[in-house]
Amino acid sequence: MFKALASVCGVTLSSVVVTALDRCKVLGKETASANYGPILVRVAEYPRLVHLPLHCHTEEYVTFVTSGGYTERTRREARECVQGSVLLHDAGEVHEDAFGNRPTRCVNLFIDPCWRSQIATEDLLGAGFIRASALTCALIHRVENELRAPDDVTPVVLQSVILELGVLLRRELRSGPAWLRDARAFINEHFAARITLRDVGDAVGAHPAQVARAFRAYDHVSVGEQIRRARIEYACQQLRSKRPLAMIAREAGFADQSHFTRTFRRLMGTTPAAYRRSLRMR
């Protein structure tokens, strides 16, 4: 089946040449499409366990994963694309895709450059990968519903929906991907355990490299530093009590009291004992 897809799109499985696809083509079985002025919509479905070799598109576009999932690899990163993922592709971005055990459906939006500034997506394309909010997912389903039963006002509906999508995506990019909040919550809940970067990624369905970049970009710390922060915040709360320092150190996830003291001094500028005494003087 995939050989037929590859043949139609000008890609061969044995070739390592990157094929550039124009805005009218997407790899996969096209199940719906619409061209309304500056907006071109392509809905594509992919069977399970399909691999799409290296390719790129000649224009920027946005992909919304509405069901199923796959792994997309670019030259910079691997993206775990599940239902609700949004991919904002640069023109010419080279990538390959490996689909999972479930059929996958994607909604692809190609937006004419002259219209991008009007819908607040001028600086979104090329931003990479985010996890959409529930409201964004609902808007994409509205796009799909319009394509299933179009009428004379469908162009107006689509343009209105895409205007709203542009605003929502901009806000989500500024605050970080939706899974970043879940990653922070996971760390705050499990900071005392010996969790790894992969543990955090697995908990929120993101690749470890994505997790590391997101914490650097939005929180300006590494994941390890975020874990230390959570441990120290817990310790600061517990230092209000009369509990032994060794017990607090152990519950916060430190190897021993000495490790706790060194880390506390580095982050707080004082020792745990001195911090406790200052609390009693207030």
What integer pLDDT is reported at residue 106 of this predicted model?
Answer: 95
- Chain-wide mean pLDDT for the chain? 82
What integer pLDDT is reported at residue 223 of this predicted model?
Answer: 94
Residue with the larger pLDDT of the pair 100 and 78: 100
Tell me the average pLDDT across 258-263.
Answer: 94
Residue 121 in this model has a pLDDT that exceeds 80: no
DSSP letters spanning 121-132: -TTTTT-EEEEP
For the entire predicted model, the pTM comes to 0.58
Least confident among 28-32, 143-147, 171-175, 231-235: 171-175
Match 């390592």 to its residue by tokens.
16
Which residues, 6 or more positions from 270, have their beta carbon under 8 angstroms from its beta carbon?
A: 264, 278
Q: What is the DSSP letter of 133?
A: P
**Distance between CA atoms of 113 and 122, rounded to whole angstroms?**
8
C-alpha dist (Å) from residue 57 to 60, 91, 94:
7, 6, 8
Task: Read off the pLDDT of residues 147-206 as tens digits, 9 standing for 90 and up.
Answer: 888 898 988 888 888 888 877 777 766 777 778 888 998 999 999 999 999 999 999 988
**Distance between CA atoms of 84 and 282, rounded to whole angstroms?**
49
C-alpha dist (Å) from residue 82 to 50, 137, 138:
15, 12, 16
